[in-house]
Amino acid sequence: MAKRNTSSVGAPCWVDTWQPDPQGAKEFYGGLFGWTFDEALPMPGFEGGYWLARLDGRSVGGVGQAPPGSPAGWLTHVRVRDIGQASALAEQAGGRQLGTIDARAHSQLVADSSGVLFCLRQAGVNDGVELADQPNSWAMSSLHTPELGKAQEFYKAMFNWELKSPLDAPFSLWLLEDQLVAVATATDGVAVPPHWSVNFGVTDADRTADRAVALGGGIVMAPMDTPGFRSAVISDPWGGVVAVSAVGTQTGTPAALP
């Protein structure tokens, strides 16, 4: 399968988690993936702060203070050329603007036409992760929705993404100019509510799942074999959920979970 595109305008470029206890989340994800964190960056309009996560000195994502009453979760950011125009386009395509969450990085929270949250991120300096598709870094983001046709219309209008469904695969591929940028999975919308999930590459899915439990998290889906990968779904102690996939030697895509 072609290498994932994270560098173009219109491609997912950043992931971060917003947590009720960011200090605890830093300890959990630092212990799970070996990340270190920069000093806190101020977040105008938010109590607490925001911390860049690094692996071997290169940025891999971020941890931020969630607003009061908000659950823990992960967000995927898509790079745009003009965040004002893109925010307006989201509404024109049937989505909603939900406010600026990081004025420093020019990051805007929006909802797609089915109410699924994601972020728009202004193209420019430091607008994406410096390390991806390696063990202990971001490997894939996946849209889970019961309305793939509706999603296809929205993301086509927003980013010119095309949806391709490989034969006998449980997921579809989001392509931007024939390059892979994300995946999509059809759900019933009940057992798995519509959302964007985040997957991290690891060297050993079983060991990572065990480590998550030892750090106070949980296992949502026990390690299992998927095409070319062994994958699991874990939760952090505050309910944030991510998938992890051990890189295999066969052609495949990291688990489109949770």
Residue 149 CA to residue 158 CA, distance in Å, equals 14
Peptide bond into 194 cis (omega under 30): no
Tell me whether strands 172-176 and 179-186 are parallel, antiparallel or unpaired. Answer: antiparallel
Question: How high is the pLDDT of residue 99?
Answer: 78
DSSP per-residue letters across 41-69: EE-TTSSSEEEEEEETTEEEEEEEEPPTT
* 94: exposed, middle or buried (Cβ count in 10 Å: 0-12, 13-18, 19+): middle
For residue 45, the model assigns a pLDDT of 56
The pLDDT value given to residue 67:
86
What's the rounded Cα separation, in Å, for the pair 209 and 219? Answer: 7
Give the Cβ contact number of residue 245 at 10 Å: 27
pTM above 0.85, yes or no: yes
Domains (range + CATH), the chain: 12-122 (3.10.180.10), 138-247 (3.10.180.10)
For the chain, residues with pLDDT lower than 50 are 1, 249-253, 255-258
What per-residue confidence (pLDDT) applies to 1?
Answer: 41
